[in-house]
């Protein structure tokens, strides 16, 4: 997307995710065009996410079948295995999982920075628009005020020609005021503050959810390691159950984040086209500031009409003064000041300044924000993968601990002791 002063180009990471296969539920290929409102596009994103869901569910089903239907019992305590190696492996994998999930803090920080920078850009854009709104309102009120002054000036002592010119001048000034107010209304129709508020709310909710879930995963890892270190069978069983829950959530979250990353990549591959299309074309205010076409300025017709009306008013007051020989300093000076203000307004009606802010905001969202989202995806996917190994190791340790406890009960301290039901080893 080319701009007058800045240029946005999709990064290699965005282009790679944008190339992901897009198929609807009938497995028909669809265009890689960002279209969140279309059912086929939503189906394509779901098709990207469901393979991870299936892998997670298949793993859980496999473990359930192994536990319920393929459980083997040792006939002799002589078959007990040394658990030192499995425990060491579990500790190492837990450290790796903690490191992987810790990456989500950095990714979350990148997303926060991207959202903050984007909000800063939209705030700057809103400041520019407010300047246009205030300037056009001030000029419009001044023009309508001059029209009122001209209309209420006593022209009865002058010729009918002067009276007609005065009436025409009042009408021209009224036309100028109406057009200037219309410019302000057009500028006010594009409200970046609502978008800014939406970004803030969504990012705040996402930030809290990410931090809470990351803390949950790290806490569960601590329980896993502590249960193995303390040889608490009950704690290991509880942590194993919670581990499966966490594994499923991580897998589902990774699948959803993969689909969302592809969707964001589709948007970032050509954000201008989507925004302009949704805005209703480059002739709308939002489309004008994003596309910045030099030949389509939605303010142009109103500005030209206001400027022409002011120019006509200036000519009319000069004719009246020449014809009557009198001077009307308040009207003459008012028209001159108003004309200078309108000419100053013309520069602010170009798309360049606000367009640059919007493109910088899009660039931040599609580079810093997208990289943070992808990092979050890989963090959760890696953590889910490592959690699968932790669950396998926990299952192995628990199975061998049953037999180990029956032989060396005195080495284990039950979490909740019950003197009436103590196990006595002969």
C-alpha 137/C-alpha 174 separation (Å) is: 13
Asked whether residue 276 carries a pLDDT value surpassing 90, the answer given is: no
Structure tokens at 281: 């074309």
Q: For the segment 167-185, what is each residue's pLDDT rounded down to a tens digit?
A: 999 999 999 999 999 998 8
Residues 6+ apart with CB under 8 A from 331: 146, 149, 150, 153, 317
11 confidence band (pLDDT: 50, 70, 90) = confident
Q: Over pLDDT 70: what percentage of the chain?
A: 86
Q: For the segment 324-334, what is each residue's pLDDT rounded down to a tens digit?
A: 888 888 889 99
pLDDT score recorded for residue 168: 93
pLDDT score recorded for residue 204: 80
C-alpha 121/C-alpha 369 separation (Å) is: 14
pLDDT score recorded for residue 413: 47
C-alpha 342/C-alpha 402 separation (Å) is: 87
pLDDT score recorded for residue 69: 66
252 contacts 53 by C-beta, under 8 angstroms = yes
Q: For the segment 104-157, what is each residue's pLDDT rounded down to a tens digit?
A: 888 888 888 877 887 888 788 788 888 889 999 999 999 999 999 999 988 888
Of 190-199, 350-359, 385-394, the range with the lowest mean pLDDT is: 190-199
pLDDT score recorded for residue 418: 45
Least Cα distance to 155 among 145, 168, 172 occurs for 168
pLDDT score recorded for residue 281: 63
């Amino acid at each position: 997307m080319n701009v007058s002063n800045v240029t946005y180009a999709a990064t290699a990471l965005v282009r790679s995710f944008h190339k992901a296969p897009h198929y609807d539920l009938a497995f028909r290929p669809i265009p890689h065009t960002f279209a969140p409102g279309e059912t086929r596009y939503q189906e394509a994103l779901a098709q990207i996410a469901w393979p991870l869901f299936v892998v997670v569910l298949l793993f859980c089903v496999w473990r359930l079948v192994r536990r319920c239907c393929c459980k083997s019992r040792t006939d002799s305590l002589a078959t007990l295995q040394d658990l030192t190696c499995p425990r060491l492996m579990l500790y190492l994998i837990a450290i790796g999982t903690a490191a992987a999930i810790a990456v989500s803090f950095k990714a979350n920080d990148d997303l926060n920075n991207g959202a903050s920078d984007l909000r800063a850009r939209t705030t700057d854009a809103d400041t520019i628009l407010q300047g246009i709104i205030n300037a056009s309102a001030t000029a419009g009120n001044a023009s309508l005020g001059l029209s009122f002054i001209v209309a209420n000036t006593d022209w009865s002592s002058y010729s009918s020609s002067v009276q007609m010119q005065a009436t025409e001048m009042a009408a021209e000034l009224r036309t100028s005021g109406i057009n200037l107010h219309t410019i302000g209304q057009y500028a006010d129709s594009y409200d970046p503050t609502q978008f800014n508020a939406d970004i803030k709310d969504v990012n705040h909710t996402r930030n809290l959810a990410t931090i809470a879930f990351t803390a949950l995963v790290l806490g569960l890892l601590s329980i896993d390691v502590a249960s193995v270190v303390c040889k608490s069978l009950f704690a290991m069983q509880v942590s194993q159950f919670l581990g499966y829950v966490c594994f499923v959530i991580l897998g589902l979250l990774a699948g959803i984040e993969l689909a969302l990353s592809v969707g964001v990549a589709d948007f970032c591959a050509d954000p201008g086209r989507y925004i302009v299309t949704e805005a209703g074309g480059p002739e709308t205010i939002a489309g004008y500031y994003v596309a910045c076409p030099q030949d389509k300025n939605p303010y142009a017709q109103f500005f030209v009409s206001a400027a022409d009306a002011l120019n006509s008013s200036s000519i009319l007051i000069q004719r009246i003064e020449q014809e009557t020989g009198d001077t009307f300093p308040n009207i003459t000076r008012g028209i001159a000041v108003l004309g200078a203000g309108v000419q100053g307004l013309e520069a602010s009606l170009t798309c360049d300044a606000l367009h640059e802010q919007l493109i910088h905001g899009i660039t931040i969202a599609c580079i810093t924000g997208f990289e943070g989202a992808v990092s979050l995806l890989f963090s959760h996917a890696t953590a889910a993968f490592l959690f699968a190994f932790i669950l396998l190791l926990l299952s192995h340790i628990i199975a061998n601990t049953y037999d180990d406890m029956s032989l060396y009960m005195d080495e284990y301290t039950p979490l909740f002791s019950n003197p009436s039901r103590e196990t006595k080893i002969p």
